[in-house]
Chain A
Amino acid sequence: MRLWLGTAVAVAIASAPLAAAAHHSFAMYDQTRIVTLNGTVKDFQWTNPHSVIWVLVPTTGGQADLWTVELGTSPGNLNRMGWSKHSINPGDKVAVDINPLRDGRHGGSLKKVVLVDTGKALTVGPVSPAPSAP
């Protein structure tokens, strides 16, 4: 983890000043396109206000590109949708459908993630409160 985080920090310093994520619009993602990433989970960032799956996607040269897949909500709501912090784990083989960043950079917003080994599919949808207990 240390190595790739170090790279991320170096890039952060070398590029623009950090904006804050916070509550943000998802307009930077192309809602009209779906791209499927086939790769391996590097990390599952279970954080507020949005959680992020970091996915390594193999390239033709035998390397791998690192992608961010942003989930449009928080752990509180994800728990209510049936997710947990253990839903996705480092090393999991995944097929992830995303709305990609419009500018072509390696990021997207989650539409669906399928765990290849089990076939289990997870999506981020509206919270549907169950009826109250009688």
Chain B
Amino acid sequence: MRGPLDLWAGRPARHTVAAAGAILGLASFAFTAFAAAPPNAAEVLNPAPSPSDWAALARLPDWSGVWTPSPLVNAGPAFDDPPAWTPKAAARVARMRALSKAGTPDNIYINCLPEGMPSFDLMTLNAAEFLFTPGRVTLLSEFDPNRLRRIYTDGRGHPEDPDLTFSGHSVGRWEGDTLVVDTVGVKPQSFIPLAQDVGVPNGGDMHITERIHLIAPDRLQIDLTVIAPRVLTKPWTTKRIWTRSRLRKFDIVEASCREGDFVPDTDEDGFAIYRPIVIDAGGAPLAPQPGSPK
């Protein structure tokens, strides 16, 4: 996964290496060998978009505006059929549900690591927006803290051996007005979530397909198929519906994951700072309790 900035950074670096080699009379063999090597993924250029590439965007469906996800049902995503968990995963789900019922939740996002896929679609309550640029769809969210996904639509495939990430590597293609997205390379720790306190780490080798399409002028549906052979005995199909607003007050704003753990204050030198507050084991803010000095 290399972006244009990587390539810009990479080219001058090669020239720099060449110049240094010439001056020092060293490393010429190594550089020659590098330059003669067959093209590989690290050397593929992302071509500059042409005017026709930009013009082609106008033929895509209009997904502008801000999209608000449907409410979670009983604190989790709505789905027609529950995931077919392996027995071990099912036991974990039952254990986490019991903890939630007892008021001692085992939160799956509380460490503020990226929520990842498929949580990005299924568990957020925050708005998102789509950006279309040549060769790419970018999903920008308010999901703490302003998570994003890059979906490459330039015809590339997945890397053979991708560095694993929380949201994985996504490529997409347009089938009419439906964007079909294929995602692999997700870290095994990314949860398949049923609630903010119920989820199973996918365990690795997860493969997600999404079909994203309008179902009404201001309603967008994401149909997901989650294949996770380590924890599911068959693919899980589910969906999330999003509703569009064009009101300016709906514009995406900055989000953060842990600001609520602090209150603004002033230090002894008059500088504006944050001071931590007390948080209970489940994440709730706590005031100083009776018996402590006021």
Contacts and interface: CB of A to CB of B under 8 A. Distances in A.
Interface of A: 1-2, 4-5, 7-12, 15-16, 18-30, 43, 45, 47-52, 54, 63-68, 70, 73-77, 79-80, 101-103, 105-107, 109, 126-127, 129-133
Contacts of B256: 47-49
A22 B252 CA distance: 19
Most B Cβ at <10 Å: residue of A15, A26, A52: A26
Contacts of B246: 132-133
A36 to B, nearest CB: 17
Interface string B90-128: 000000000111111101011110010000000001110
B280 A23 contact: no
A133 B249 CA distance: 13
A132 B289 contact: no
A48 B259 contact: yes
- For the residues of B in contact with A, the DSSP-based class is loop
A132 B71 contact: no
B247 A130 contact: yes
Interface of B: 65-66, 68, 71, 75, 99-105, 107, 109-112, 115, 125-127, 142, 144-145, 195-197, 217-218, 243-247, 249-250, 252-263, 265-266, 275-290, 292-294
Contacts of A48: 144-145, 254-257, 259-260
A121 to B, nearest CB: 20
21 contacts: A5-B263, A7-B288, A8-B287, A16-B281, A20-B257, A20-B261, A21-B260, A22-B109, A23-B110, A24-B282, A25-B107, A27-B105, A28-B282, A29-B284, A48-B256, A50-B285, A66-B288, A76-B127, A131-B218, A132-B65, A132-B218
